[in-house]
């Protein structure tokens, strides 16, 4: 209890404070340091996980924007096709100079459509690239999330080990820590 009101803290906090104030055994000190290190590494992994998730969302947003531009290009292509169809019909229905004018229009629409199609296909390729980048970043995010979760489990097991003084539980602490570090390395390597 403090001088300014009621203060509540967990048993793990109490044990760490007790060691700091009164000294403690080597086991408690080392486990407290390990917990602090795991918390720090876990915070870094959490940050990197959030970063990769944001990157995935940005790539997905980019894919949506470019998909809209590609759709607009395909709509423009369709409009030119409609105009070309009308010009082709006009070639059949007219003669002389008018017919020649519509033949030129058909040729012009074919060239314009080819350019529009090339641009639309280029945009579609950009959409595919952005979607693949988004999927990769989400995969990396899942690695970081797994690493963070495993380190949180290791921290919880360390607290239980500290409270119960059951040294055999350190196998769980070290196992979860090892797996968390492996998952973090996989996230870092984008695997």
Write down the pLDDT at residue 1: 47
Kindly state whether residue 19 falls inside one of the protein's structural domains. no
Q: Which domain does 153 fall in, by range?
A: 25-188
Kindly state whether residue 154 falls inside one of the protein's structural domains. yes
Kindly state whether residue 1 falls inside one of the protein's structural domains. no
Structural domain tally of the chain? 1
Write down the pLDDT at residue 162: 87
Digit-coded pLDDT (tens) for 8-58: 565 566 665 665 565 557 888 888 889 999 999 999 999 999 999 999 999
Q: What is the rounded CA–CA span in Å between residue 126 and residue 120?
A: 10
Kindly state whether residue 14 falls inside one of the protein's structural domains. no
Answer positive or negative: Cα dihedral of 137, 139, 141, 144. Answer: negative
Kindly state whether residue 3 falls inside one of the protein's structural domains. no
Kindly state whether residue 69 falls inside one of the protein's structural domains. yes
Write down the pLDDT at residue 27: 84
Checking if the pLDDT of 173 tops 50, the result is yes
Task: Give the tokens for residue 47.
Answer: 């940050």
Question: Structure pTM?
Answer: 0.70
* Residue that has been written with the tokens 């008018």 in this structure: 98
Answer positive or negative: Cα dihedral of 43, 48, 54, 60. Answer: negative
Kindly state whether residue 131 falls inside one of the protein's structural domains. yes
Digit-coded pLDDT (tens) for 104-162: 999 999 999 999 999 999 999 999 999 999 999 999 999 999 999 999 999 999 999 98
Percentage above 90 pLDDT, the chain? 68
Give the distance from CA 102 to its chain's centroid.
52
Kindly state whether residue 4 falls inside one of the protein's structural domains. no
Digit-coded pLDDT (tens) for 157-166: 999 998 888 8
Write down the pLDDT at residue 190: 84
Write down the pLDDT at residue 8: 58
Write down the pLDDT at residue 28: 85
């Amino acid at each position: 209890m403090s001088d300014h009101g009621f203060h509540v803290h967990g048993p793990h906090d109490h044990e760490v404070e007790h060691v700091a104030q009164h000294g403690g055994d080597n086991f408690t000190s080392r486990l407290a340091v390990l917990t602090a290190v795991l918390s720090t590494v876990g915070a870094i992994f959490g940050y990197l996980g959030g970063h990769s998730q944001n990157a995935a969302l940005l790539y997905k947003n980019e894919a949506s924007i470019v998909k809209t531009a590609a759709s607009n290009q395909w709509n423009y292509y369709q409009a030119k096709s409609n105009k070309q169809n009308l010009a082709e019909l006009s070639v059949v229905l007219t003669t002389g100079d008018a017919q020649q004018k519509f033949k030129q229009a058909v040729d012009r629409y074919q060239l314009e459509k080819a350019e529009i199609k090339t641009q639309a296909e280029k945009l579609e390729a950009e959409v595919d690239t952005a979607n693949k980048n988004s999927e990769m970043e989400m995969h990396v995010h899942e690695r970081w999330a797994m690493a963070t979760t495993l380190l949180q489990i290791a921290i919880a097991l360390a607290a239980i080990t500290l409270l119960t003084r059951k040294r055999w539980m350190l196998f769980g602490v070290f196992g979860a820590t090892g797996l968390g570090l492996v998952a973090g390395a996989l996230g870092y390597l984008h695997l």
